[in-house]
A and B are shown apart, each in its own frame.
Chain A
């Protein structure tokens, strides 16, 4: 083999602490290295052209690039090789940036280490085989998990492009948080007026199948061919028959059920339709509060339902859908703020969350859009907003910024003034973060036109004054003094956290999540809506706090990724799969037992049992290779010999 080695400066990123010229000098003495040089930016166009030129000039048939992480540019350089007419798999990378130059300043040690890593790459490359990807068919259907605004956008974009879409929504209606909002910043247009039509489109689009009140139970398969088990939760109402007339809701005698759509501030029923524009607009029974299901008596709804839709016998049902790609758009939930004892820990009825306040402002909310405080129904004149409750606070394990609370607090202050012209809003804040288009202008308007009183500082305590109102005591750090504000209503801008059970869903999808349960994107900059699992994409706040415009943009981006994926005639499978040496295999079946994907089957070869890998199913984990004692099954490109060669390259005595 004639190997070419290219040591990248990455500007000064590598060259700053690694003597790249020296590394390339050392590399020239490595076995089968025919050419070695350092280069300014290997990944840039001139850099890649340089590689292509050297391949031709020095008749190279394998290339090592020592630069950044292969997780970044392996694909780039494989392409370069292909353009030069080489098999793209005759390539190895040594990571001398993230693993060397960026983590230590000792130039001598770094140079020595970089040379070692290059030696490993050379030794591995010497044992590479040219590989050719196999092609397989795509099932051009997409699963969208979560029917918030991000999921709705992704689903509609895909469906409009002609793809079949399956949408799974956990609640009994789609719409997510946006459906609960009154108006939206920075334009203060009505949330349900802009979202409603899109929800209707979901219901009516011929390409979309919606499973509400459902959850993903399990996912198997791989990009292009996933098989998804969906659990349709028992709702005790036959949705084929239910017309959404709502008579049952009127008559249901069980009135203690929490109204989750109204964030538990309005009256609830055991049987419920979340709101007039719900999609689907169907009734659902909350089994925990239904008198018939808990005590065996009642059945009022069954008697009253004009279409005979009530079915107390209904059970959870599992259905299977086959899709080729998945978009996760499960959004967020709110931090449980009751850990803050200083705000009353949830004991004061007039200390509410921002989302509850949205419901009080909303015309479809429990008060019909008249702001009335929960304790006595009085219209509040002094409203105090407290920001960053469960955001940017290490003491409660939420060090990150929730992103949109500054903005919606300003919005709510404006709306308060609109609803109650003689009211005053006070906002306790840490910093105002309003970096979007027209955002800063919007917060200024709240202050300047709507007279919202912004006080920079943390609130130390909220307590009742004994006369039916609350006292908010805090510091005004700009004025350097203590302030006390008498409040009729306190609204907490509660921080955002990942949707309930996000880690469990991530495990089913085999994607990563961070320590807060937000799903991990493929790359923080370059792959914001992909994941590291092929065929699984992200949209909206499930990846991290995001406002509506950003969620919608990501929904469209995820859709375009799916459409791009499906625009291919066939998909290519990664050829780095396991492979059985049939002579060495004794058919013991240990590999069959441990392969997590069922990618190995037992076949009969001249009367002897042998293992055989189904290449399109194999994911290339290599568990089989380390299970087989005699090494009869080897993972291509990560063979025993290659890993042993790497070990020997660094432990040479």
Chain B
């Protein structure tokens, strides 16, 4: 699907059910205006988020990925966000070697009562991704085939 005539970028959110998804709901109930780019995937816990889901999103053409969970110490499952914090931090630092700007990925903590904070996070993150612009998806096909359809071959440029 074209990203709304170039007005939107593709931003994927992974939110834990108990805190951040609730926080996003709270923001909704309070009618806090937000940019429309973000699409939210609900998971039980930030600890459920395998960083490879994020990698997959980038491979498939996401321009930004936002993860949000319960604040440390508040995890509904006691420890999930502690594991998540380590995995996500490692992943954030890792992606620069892949050629993905680390700023395209952020993780944070928003509680169910923090509707305002959620609005702020979404707005700032969306702006941050727009500043970077779109990220070309990794081609689904071989480069030779891609060259036939697009007329440019990255292999020669590189």
**In their complex, do chains A and B touch, with some C-beta pair under 8 Å?**
yes
Docked complex Cα distance between A467 and B31 (Å): 56
Tell yes or no: A138 within 8 A of B by CB: no
Docked complex Cα distance between A520 and B111 (Å): 10
Contact residues in B for A116 (Cβ distance below 8 Å)? 1, 39
* Contact in complex: B1, A652 (CB < 8 Å): yes
Other-chain contact of A71, B21, B76, B140 (Cβ < 8 Å)? B21
Which of A508-531 touch B at CB < 8 Å? Answer: 510, 512-515, 520
B interface, by DSSP: helix, strand, loop or mixed? loop
* Contact in complex: A520, B47 (CB < 8 Å): no
* Contact in complex: A99, B24 (CB < 8 Å): yes
* Contact in complex: B113, A512 (CB < 8 Å): yes
The 6 sampled A-B contact pairs (Cβ below 8 Å) are A97-B28, A99-B25, A109-B36, A621-B45, A623-B77, A646-B41
Other-chain contact of A653, B4, B49, B60 (Cβ < 8 Å)? B60
Q: Nearest CB to that of B51 among chain A residues?
A: A626
* Contact in complex: A647, B57 (CB < 8 Å): yes
Contact residues in A for B61 (Cβ distance below 8 Å)? 651-653
Contact residues in A for B34 (Cβ distance below 8 Å)? 103-104
Tell yes or no: B124 within 8 A of A by CB: no
Contact residues in B for A644 (Cβ distance below 8 Å)? 53, 56
| With contact pairs A651-B61, A652-B60 given, residues A635 and B79 touching in the complex (Cβ less than 8 Å) | no
Tell yes or no: B158 within 8 A of A by CB: no
Q: Nearest CB to that of B32 among chain A residues?
A: A103
Which of A631-653 touch B at CB < 8 Å? Answer: 635, 638, 640, 643-644, 646-648, 650-653
Tell yes or no: A102 within 8 A of B by CB: yes
Flag B35-55 by CB within 8 Å of A: 1 or 0 each. 110011111110111100100
Expressed in whole angstroms, the minimum distance between the Cβ of B49 and any Cβ of chain A is 6
Contact residues in B for A620 (Cβ distance below 8 Å)? 44
Interface locus among B5-13, B100-108, B147-155: B5-13
* Contact in complex: B78, A510 (CB < 8 Å): yes
* Contact in complex: B41, A120 (CB < 8 Å): yes
Q: Nearest CB to that of B87 among chain A residues?
A: A626
Expressed in whole angstroms, the minimum distance between the Cβ of A409 and any Cβ of chain B is 29
Q: Nearest CB to that of B137 among chain A residues?
A: A653
* Contact in complex: A621, B7 (CB < 8 Å): no
Tell yes or no: A259 within 8 A of B by CB: no
* Contact in complex: B73, A507 (CB < 8 Å): yes
Contact residues in A for B87 (Cβ distance below 8 Å)? 626
Other-chain contact of A621, B35, B36, B41, B77 (Cβ < 8 Å)? B77
Tell yes or no: A532 within 8 A of B by CB: yes
Docked complex Cα distance between A108 and B8 (Å): 12
Contact residues in A for B12 (Cβ distance below 8 Å)? 647, 650-651
Contact residues in A for B112 (Cβ distance below 8 Å)? 512, 520, 532
Docked complex Cα distance between A507 and B103 (Å): 32
| With contact pairs A69-B28, A512-B111 given, residues A650 and B45 touching in the complex (Cβ less than 8 Å) | no
Docked complex Cα distance between A513 and B114 (Å): 11
Other-chain contact of A514, B49, B73, B113 (Cβ < 8 Å)? B113
* Contact in complex: A507, B28 (CB < 8 Å): no
Flag A246-288 by CB within 8 Å of B: 1 or 0 each. 0000000000000000000000000000000000000000000
Tell yes or no: B109 within 8 A of A by CB: no
Expressed in whole angstroms, the minimum distance between the Cβ of A47 and any Cβ of chain B is 20
Docked complex Cα distance between A597 and B77 (Å): 8
Docked complex Cα distance between A123 and B10 (Å): 18
Contact residues in B for A507 (Cβ distance below 8 Å)? 73-74
Other-chain contact of A103, B28, B47, B60 (Cβ < 8 Å)? B28
Contact residues in A for B39 (Cβ distance below 8 Å)? 113, 116-117, 120, 650
Expressed in whole angstroms, the minimum distance between the Cβ of A593 and any Cβ of chain B is 10
Other-chain contact of B113, A105, A520, A653 (Cβ < 8 Å)? A520
Contact residues in B for A112 (Cβ distance below 8 Å)? 1, 4, 36
Contact residues in A for B4 (Cβ distance below 8 Å)? 108-109, 112
* Contact in complex: A651, B62 (CB < 8 Å): yes
Contact residues in B for A105 (Cβ distance below 8 Å)? 33
Expressed in whole angstroms, the minimum distance between the Cβ of A542 and any Cβ of chain B is 15
